[in-house]
């Protein structure tokens, strides 16, 4: 389909060129919302910082290397994560591989050794857990009316005799892609929390979520997925 617009400057009709993506507020949005282009962009930026870490690691302290990571890598991962975290695992894996590489370089860690202890000791979350944590904090904002009305209206309360007060309706899904969308994952994670945790102030809630995810990471794996997170939240959060 070709879209034509009248250009008053040239007094003629111009055809709009179709692009694979558009850049809006620093995020590359493609027509299929796969986030592939933006993830590739983020990966290229992170790769440059990893190159810096590789050159500097012989001359500076580990604490300084971690500061470089948190200053030059982490912002690319956290900005827009609420959308990017819904991407396919094959795309997110590109970011996870780069995270592993950065940690191995900073700690002079052998390639064949398990990377999990480095995530824990450095207090850094792999991309999937970073997404889960962000979704939980977003749902806290939704429940406490701290988001715009158009976002709050994406979720509706689950008013059934079998549901707890404050729960949200979970949209059904048949695919793994839909399972990780915020409209389904958000209510699922939120409903798994106990009421005391839900009522915490935002700062305390963020700390609680951070500690919970860190404990899950220690007992699971860096590739832990949403069903495992939900089950662990339920088992550690008696109603």
Count of domains forming the chain: 2
Q: Are residues 133 and 223 in the same domain?
A: yes
In a domain, 124, yes or no: no
- Compare 28 and 6 and report the one with higher pLDDT: 28
Q: What is the tens place of the pLDDT at every residue in 135-150?
A: 999 999 998 889 888 8
Helix (H) or strand (E) holding 14, with range, is strand 12-15
Find out whether 103 and 124 touch, Cβ atoms under 8 Å: yes
Asked if pLDDT for residue 104 goes beyond 90, the answer is yes
Asked if pLDDT for residue 63 goes beyond 80, the answer is yes
Q: Are residues 97 and 184 in the same domain?
A: no
Among 113, 140, 168, residue at a domain's last position? 113
Among 80, 113, 146, residue at a domain's last position? 113
How large is the average pLDDT for residues 200-224? Answer: 83
pLDDT at 78: 93
Among 113, 145, 175, residue at a domain's last position? 113
- Interatomic CA distance for residues 198 and 204, integer angstroms: 10
Q: What is the tens place of the pLDDT at every residue in 28-48?
A: 988 888 889 999 999 999 999
In a domain, 2, yes or no: no
In a domain, 209, yes or no: yes
- Compare 222 and 93 and report the one with higher pLDDT: 93
How large is the average pLDDT for residues 105-130? Answer: 90
Helix (H) or strand (E) holding 83, with range, is helix 81-84
Residue 105: count of CB within 10 angstroms of its CB: 18
Asked if pLDDT for residue 121 goes beyond 60, the answer is yes
Asked if pLDDT for residue 232 goes beyond 90, the answer is no
Q: How confident is the model at residue 230 (pLDDT cuts 50, 70, 90)?
A: low
Residue 141, classed as helix, strand or coil, is helix
Question: In this prediction, what percent of the chain has a pLDDT beyond 70?
Answer: 82
- Compare 5 and 239 and report the one with higher pLDDT: 5
Q: Whole-model pTM?
A: 0.83
- Interatomic CA distance for residues 11 and 191, integer angstroms: 58
- Interatomic CA distance for residues 50 and 117, integer angstroms: 19
Q: Are residues 139 and 96 in the same domain?
A: no
Asked if pLDDT for residue 62 goes beyond 70, the answer is yes
- Interatomic CA distance for residues 177 and 86, integer angstroms: 7
**Which range marks the domain in which residue 90 is found?**
23-113
pLDDT at 67: 96
Q: What is the tens place of the pLDDT at every residue in 217-229?
A: 877 665 656 556 6
Q: Are residues 136 and 72 in the same domain?
A: no
């Amino acid at each position: 389909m070709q879209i034509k617009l009248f250009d008053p400057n040239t007094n003629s009709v111009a055809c709009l060129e179709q692009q694979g993506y558009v850049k809006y507020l620093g995020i590359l949005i493609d027509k299929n919302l796969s986030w592939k282009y933006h993830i590739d962009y983020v990966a290229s930026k992170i790769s440059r910082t990893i190159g810096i870490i590789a050159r500097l690691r012989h001359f500076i302290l580990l604490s300084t290397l971690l500061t470089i990571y948190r200053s030059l890598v982490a912002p690319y991962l956290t900005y827009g994560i609420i959308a990017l975290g819904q991407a396919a695992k094959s795309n997110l894996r590109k970011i996870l591989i780069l995270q592993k590489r950065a940690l191995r370089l900073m700690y002079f860690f052998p390639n064949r050794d398990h990377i999990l202890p480095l995530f824990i000791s450095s207090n850094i979350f792999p991309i999937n857990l970073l997404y889960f944590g962000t979704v939980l904090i977003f749902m806290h904002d939704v429940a406490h009316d701290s988001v715009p009305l158009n976002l709050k209206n994406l979720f509706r309360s689950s008013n059934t005799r079998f549901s707890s007060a404050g729960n949200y309706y979970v949209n059904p899904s048949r695919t793994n892609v839909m399972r990780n969308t915020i409209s389904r994952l958000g209510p699922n994670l939120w409903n798994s929390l106990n009421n005391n945790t839900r009522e915490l102030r935002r700062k305390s809630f963020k700390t609680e979520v951070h500690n919970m995810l860190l404990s899950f990471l220690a007992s699971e794996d860096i590739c832990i997925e949403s069903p495992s997170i939900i089950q662990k939240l339920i088992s550690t959060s008696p109603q």
